[in-house]
Structure 1
């Protein structure tokens, strides 16, 4: 009589499966929620992470990307990861801010003025501090950074070259107080809306416009429903890859290091993806019929209104004006005087 013959058929099958798979029991396939679609900077980061994880684990571990918000809206996935019901999520940093307000320093208008500045902040001591804050506040850990570029303004109505040109436009923004208040500083009341609803709202002309980087405008096919682009640079879009902290702590030390190393590789790949892709995407959008304008006077009016009205309002939420000044000092710029 064999060992399995003591058990009823269903139980025997289950135990046999466990025995056969015992050697592979530790192999993992992580689920990664991705807000954007194929061709996006988020997807590029996700693919780079998967490739690096497979390489560093010798093929033992992998991950699967679920694009276009299949696993829920970006903001919802933060909560799901915190609860341990989702492994990882790739999302815009403004969707983490409601859970961990100090990361909002990266969303303050006109703080980050180049890709190089974004890299310096996220990959240095400030990025490490914000990662620890996010672990403490939200129960998720940032393991990689996506660099998507400046959030340019698109709309279907008219060229926008000045603050005055904004008036009368209905602009979608994320449900993020910093971004909402920035548009209010420019004299309009934007429409907060979930990312998953944005394309349809533009298509049905519920809203006239939105802002997102060139890579996202192209990946999400906004050229089908938008005509005009304005090269504002009020926010450099940073989109982290987060992992459930409870999941991370349940991994072995070796697995944790593999995750962190794969995240670092994905971060480097993201920066290169932006450098390699953005200029060509601009030309492609022009070829698809979009018109691109620069603001008058180098955005001077946009900058003045936004920094004077918005920065002081959020000093407390980001941890005090000294936190902003630490960022400015890191970037070699003058601190805020109070």
Structure 2
């Protein structure tokens, strides 16, 4: 009886070991970033929720390809997970673009409301349908502020003459055009070198990213814009997800939810400290003139109407505004 029990236990352990998997997560940003923080917390949660059966390995700094490439790889099932900026999913699932409309989200609370409520669930369903990937977590990185190496920028006129790098995202490109300049679309992996070599003068990203990427080495001035709250989802290949047993699927979803909650707290605890650190390193921070009124008017009046159709109609925008307790358009 003892040898039989031992044999059953051995076979059970062998099956468990055979089914164990080390999931790979492509991470666009570097060490110290909100993306890494969420990824590490997700890894810890998944390991605990599967009793150590599954583990996660992070590949930072775009080691596994550009953010848009990782969406393709995940759709094909050749990559398990990716952590990336929301604007890099939009080309594959346009309705997600509602989260990149300038000034749609004006606080962390509003970002949480949109991503974790019914609208967020609809966007998750859409990405599964459109792109073959499933959003299982949300990184909250804060507002994308403008940095540059030439001069303080407080007004739209101050933007003139600056070459500003933006992601290859139509909404963000059109936002800068509405503000009066033609931005330079560029892959994230090329951005630091372009700033260093003066190919471009500036870029926009959250304080947390400016810190983790050491942009203080190549940038001096920051404009404290609030035009786009940066959200960076954790996606899993839908085919990889469906290949897992029910318990593992549930563990992935629960780990993603826990990591999302952790990310919100991480932002609150870290952003002001990081902002003060950038000031200590010699960066100068300016506020946009007149409470950002001119920036807001140009962006919402000139950009929003152009994207109603691609994000599912004007009614989708109004649904988001209602969820946020704001006036419909």
Give the TM interval when normalised to the shorter protein: over 0.9
* Alignment correspondent of 2:326: 333
Task: Please tell me whether residue 272 in structure 1 is matched to residue 297 in structure 2.
Answer: no
Does structure 1 conserve the Cα–Cα contact (< 8 Å) formed by 2:16 and 2:53? no
Equivalent position SS for 2:168: coil
Q: What is the number of residues matched between the two proteins?
A: 319
1:104 deviates by 0.3
* Alignment correspondent of 1:247: 240
1:309 deviates by 0.3
Unaligned runs of 5+ in 2: 1-10
Q: TM-score, normalised by structure 2?
A: 0.96
* Alignment correspondent of 2:4: none
Q: CA RMSD of the aligned region, Å?
A: 1.2
Equivalent position SS for 2:31: coil
Task: Please tell me whether residue 140 in structure 1 is matched to residue 133 in structure 2.
Answer: yes
Task: Give the whole-Å Cα distance in 2 for the aligned partners of 1:225 and 1:237.
Answer: 22
Task: Give the whole-Å Cα distance in 2 for the aligned partners of 1:285 and 1:253.
Answer: 45
> Which runs of at least 4 in structure 1 moved beyond 3 Å after TM superposition?
18-23
Task: Please tell me whether residue 186 in structure 1 is matched to residue 179 in structure 2.
Answer: yes
Task: Please tell me whether residue 101 in structure 1 is matched to residue 94 in structure 2.
Answer: yes
Instruction: State how 1:298-317 maps to structure 2 within 5 Å.
Output: 298-317=291-310
Deviation digits for residues 97-144 of structure 1, max 9, x if unmatched?
000000000000000000000001101100000000000000000000
Instruction: Choose from 78, 85, 99 the match for 1:85.
Output: 78
Instruction: Choose from 203, 212, 218 the match for 1:219.
Output: 212
* Alignment correspondent of 2:147: 154
1:56 deviates by 0.6
* Alignment correspondent of 1:172: 165
Equivalent position SS for 1:65: strand
Instruction: Choose from 186, 192, 203 the match for 2:196.
Output: 203
Unaligned runs of 5+ in 1: 1-17
* Larger-gyration structure (1/2): 1
Deviation digits for residues 176-235 of structure 1, max 9, x if unmatched?
000000000000000000000000000000000000000000000100000000001110
Equivalent position SS for 1:229: strand
